[in-house]
Chain A
Amino acid sequence: MNYIFYFLIVISIIVGAINGKLQEVTNAVMDGAELSVKVAFSLIGIMAFWLGIMRIAQKSGIIDWIAKVIKPITKVLFNEIPPESDAVGDIAMNFTANAFGLSNAATPFGLKAMEELQNVNKDKTSASNSMCLLLGMNTAGFQLIPTTVLAVLVGIGYKNPTEIIAPTLLVTTIAFVSAIILSKIFQRIWKPRIEEVKNEQSD
């Protein structure tokens, strides 16, 4: 992340200077900073709402039920988390909400799952295998119906907008499955560097 952050900013400044757009780049700092707070604040209400609903779902046993149904799958994929962890249910809800295109609802579930995964994580600053997998599943953006895209297509008078659904579903499935396979491959190669962490702490 350190290098990504560095290169994002350095490349922007260099390319901005070449294109004579340095002023625009500087303005983007202010606009971006303002926008990020707006994004976070716009999340508060909807997050609070869904976390509240989720709490009811949890207390009434719905989450347990959903988790039980898709447990065979999550058990194989997330083989490192203890089966009694709440993370299983949250991951299930996160996936279900994403699949139905409710990304506003999916984020609170995903973040809750992240917290549960962090609770069983050995090194609190480094992402665990399960966290990386959950991330990969979310960045692939698996969705049954691309509602926003359909809305735009209807808006321009597209005759048969639903013809877009099948190809989109195929593509998103390919991306989703590759994200899972890639995570499983990389977790073998890219082991967490525990020794390094110990050194940093003793410094």
Chain B
Amino acid sequence: MSNLINLISVWALPAILLIVLTVGIFKKVPIYEEFTEGAKDGFKIAIKIIPYLVAIIVGIAMLRASGAIEMCSNLMSGVLTRFNVPADTLPLMIVRSLSGSAALGVFSDIANNLGPDSFATKLAAVMVGSSETTFYVLAVYFGAVGIKKLRYAVLVGVLADIIGIISAVWVANLMFA
């Protein structure tokens, strides 16, 4: 099973490239010209999202530096121990919607300090594996097309994250506790 999964993750990218280029050649598409034509857009989009990235990343960096995330997890720790949620995973719950690299950092920290056999490591693994950095996606996707009124998009993202956290706790307790 793990061999198969390894095989898939190693081959996913090369397979896509092989298929796309081979079909392209076969259908007589000028693949080099079309490639460079498409690639031009990469630069445009990346430059376009900078202002939105600056706003979001600076805001989140400030929040992390202020110690607000630790304060929040201290406040909630009493409630959450009742649901068999290890206190170590609390910062992760808050951070995982805000910053992908920070979430991975917190997760590695938990894994290395508490070891492979702890429930916290398993719960943290499920939480990180099942999440995407909501606010980064919001900034990049809407920034690229210049949308300023996000309507309910933030609410959906945050609620889905909360549902994700609750189900992670539930599933992890069911399987690993």
Residues of A near any B CB (own CB < 8 A)? 1, 4-5, 8-9, 11-13, 15-16, 19, 21, 24-25, 27-29, 31-33, 35-37, 39-41, 43-57, 59-62, 100-103, 105, 107-108, 110-112, 114-115, 117-118, 123-127, 131-132, 134-136, 138-141, 143, 145-149, 152-153, 155-159, 161-172, 174-176, 178-179, 182-183, 186-187, 189-190, 192
Contact = CB atoms under 8 A, between A and B. Distances in A.
Contacts, number: 351
B57 A32 contact: yes
Given A1-B154, A59-B34, A125 B66 contact: no
12 contacts: A37-B50, A43-B46, A47-B42, A53-B21, A56-B31, A108-B45, A118-B147, A131-B141, A132-B153, A171-B126, A175-B160, A186-B156
Interface of A is mostly: helix
B42 A40 contact: no
B3 to A, nearest CB: 10
Interface of B is mostly: helix
Contact of A4 (B68, B154, B159): B154
B160 A126 contact: no
Nearest to A138: B137
A127 B38 contact: no
The 3 tightest CB contacts between A and B, nearest first, are A141-B132, A55-B38, A48-B42
A44 B65 contact: no
Contact of B153 (A21, A131, A155, A167): A131
B8 interface: yes
